[in-house]
C-alpha cells in the first residue's frame, strides 16, 4: 500500500481545477491507494460543518481511502473545534497551519499568533499531528518576483525563509509543551532537515519531501515554460537539491508527499501566475524508478511511502 499525505483537491469554488473523485483516478493510476486532502480550499476547511460537507463529496466506495487535514487559525475557539474534529472523525487526520502565505487565505503569519496555536493545543492536551507550511513571511521578498523572469520566484522566497520558520515551529513546540507531532511539510533545504534531526531528541517531529523538490532545481524556471515550475516553497539551487537528495538517501526524510496542486495552464502562464505543480502524476516513476536509481533501498522506500505514515497516523489508518 502507498499513501500520499499531501494533496490539494479543489472541490468548491475551484472545482474546475481538481475534484476528489478525479484525484482518486490519478492516484489509482500512480499506485496510491489513500491520500490526505489539504484544507486551503475556497472556502477553507476550518469547521465541523465544513468537514461534514467535504465528506459528502467523497465517492462512497473511497471513504476508507480519503482523509483530510483541518485548517487552524489563531482563534482559540476555532482551534478547539478543529481539535474536536480530529478526535471525533476518523477521516480528519490532523491539523494544518500555514506559517506563510501560499495559495489561499488560510494563514497564521505572526510568530506570536503561532505561539498561541501551540499553547492552545498544549492546553487542550492535543497529541495528534499538526502539519506546517514553513516560510517566514518577514523574510519573503515579494518585490523581487517578476513573471517575465520566472526564476525570480525562487529568489523572492529564499532558503532562509524556510530555515527560520522551521526553527520557529520547533522552538514554539518545545517552549509551549506541545505534546503532539509537528510535521514539516515539503521540506526543501538540508539545513531544515538538520534542524528536524536535532529536534527529534526532544519532541515528536517529522518531515516530508516532494518529488519536484528533488527531481528539479530552479533552472527549470529559466525555460520558456518556466512559469509552470512556480511553486511554494520554490525550487532551489542545484547544490541545495543535491544536499536534499543526500537527506533522502540517508533516511532523514519521513515520507514522500506530492503536494499535488493542479491549476489550469492558463492560470500558471498568465495572471494570476498560480503556484503549484500536479506532482501526483510523478509519483509512480519517482518511487519505482528514480529513487532506486540513486541507491534508495526497497526497505527505505516502503517506509517513506507507507510504513512511517502508518506509524504516525496509526489511530486513523487502523
Query: Which CATH number fits the domain that encloses residue 123?
Result: 3.20.20.140
- What's the rounded mean pLDDT across residues 99-109? 82
Rg of the chain, C-alpha, whole Å: 18
User: pLDDT digit string (tens) for 275-299?
Assistant: 999 999 999 999 999 999 999 999 9
Distance CA 274, CA 281 (A): 18
Across the range 44-50, mean pLDDT stands at 97
pLDDT-based confidence at 104, cuts 50/70/90?
low
Q: How many domains does the chain have?
A: 1
- pLDDT-derived band of residue 5, with 50, 70 and 90 as boundaries? very high
- State the pTM of this model: 0.97
Can you say whether residue 193 is alpha, beta or left, with left for phi > 0 and alpha for psi between -120 and 50 degrees?
A: alpha
Name the strand (E) or helix (H) holding 66: strand 66-71
pLDDT level of residue 101 (50, 70, 90 thresholds):
confident
203-212 pLDDT per residue, tens = 999 999 999 9
In this prediction, residue 100 carries a pLDDT of: 81
Please compute the mean of the pLDDT values over residues 38-55 and round it to a whole number.
96
Does residue 102 have a pLDDT over 90?
Answer: no
Q: What would the DSSP string read from start to end of 121-144?
A: HHHHT--SEEEEE---GGG--GGG
In this prediction, residues 226-255 reach a mean pLDDT of 98
Domain residues for the domain of 35 are 3-317
The pLDDT score that the predictor gives to residue 262 is 97
Cα 60 from Cα 56, distance rounded (Å): 8
- Return mean pLDDT, the chain: 97
Amino acid at each position: 500500500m502507498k499513501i500520499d499525505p499531501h494533496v490539494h483537491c479543489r472541490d468548491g469554488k475551484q472545482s474546475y481545477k481538481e475534484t476528489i473523485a478525479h484525484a482518486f483516478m490519478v492516484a489509482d493510476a500512480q499506485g496510491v491507494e489513500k491520500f490526505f486532502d489539504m484544507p486551503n480550499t475556497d472556502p477553507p476547511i476550518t469547521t465541523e460543518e465544513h468537514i461534514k460537507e467535504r465528506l459528502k463529496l467523497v465517492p462512497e466506495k473511497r471513504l476508507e481511502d480519503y482523509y483530510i487535514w483541518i485548517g487552524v487559525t489563531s482563534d482559540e475557539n476555532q482551534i478547539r473545534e478543529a481539535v474536536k474534529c480530529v478526535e471525533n472523525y476518523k477521516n480528519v487526520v490532523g491539523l494544518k497551519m500555514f506559517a506563510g502565505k501560499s495559495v489561499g487565505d488560510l494563514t497564521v503569519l505572526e510568530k506570536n499568533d503561532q505561539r498561541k496555536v501551540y499553547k492552545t493545543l498544549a492546553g487542550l492536551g492535543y497529541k495528534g499531528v499538526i502539519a506546517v507550511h514553513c516560510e517566514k513571511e518577514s523574510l519573503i521578498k515579494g518585490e523581487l518576483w517578476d513573471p517575465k523572469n520566472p526564476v525570480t520566484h525562487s529568489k523572492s522566497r529564499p532558503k532562509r525563509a524556510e530555515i527560520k520558520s522551521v526553527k520557529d515551529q520547533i522552538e514554539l513546540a518545545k517552549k509551549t509543551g506541545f505534546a503532539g507531532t509537528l510535521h514539516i511539510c515539503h521540506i526543501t533545504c538540508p539545513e531544515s532537515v538538520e534542524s528536524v534531526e536535532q529536534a527529534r531528541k526532544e519532541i515528536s517531529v517529522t518531515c516530508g519531501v516532494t518529488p519536484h523538490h528533488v527531481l528539479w532545481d530552479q533552472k527549470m524556471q529559466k525555460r520558456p515554460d518556466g512559469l509552470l515550475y512556480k511553486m511554494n516553497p520554490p525550487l532551489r539551487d542545484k547544490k541545495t537539491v543535491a544536499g536534499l537528495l543526500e537527506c533522502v538517501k540517508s533516511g532523514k526524510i519521513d515520507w514522500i508527499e506530492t503536494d499535488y496542486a493542479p491549476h489550469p495552464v492558463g492560470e500558471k502562464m498568465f495572471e494570476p501566475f498560480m503556484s503549484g505543480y500536479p506532482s501526483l502524476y510523478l509519483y509512480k516513476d519517482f518511487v519505482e524508478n528514480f529513487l532506486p536509481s540513486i541507491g534508495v533501498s526497497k526497505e527505505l522506500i516502503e517506509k517513506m511511502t507507507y510504513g512511517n505514515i502508518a506509524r504516525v497516523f496509526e489511530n486513523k489508518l487502523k
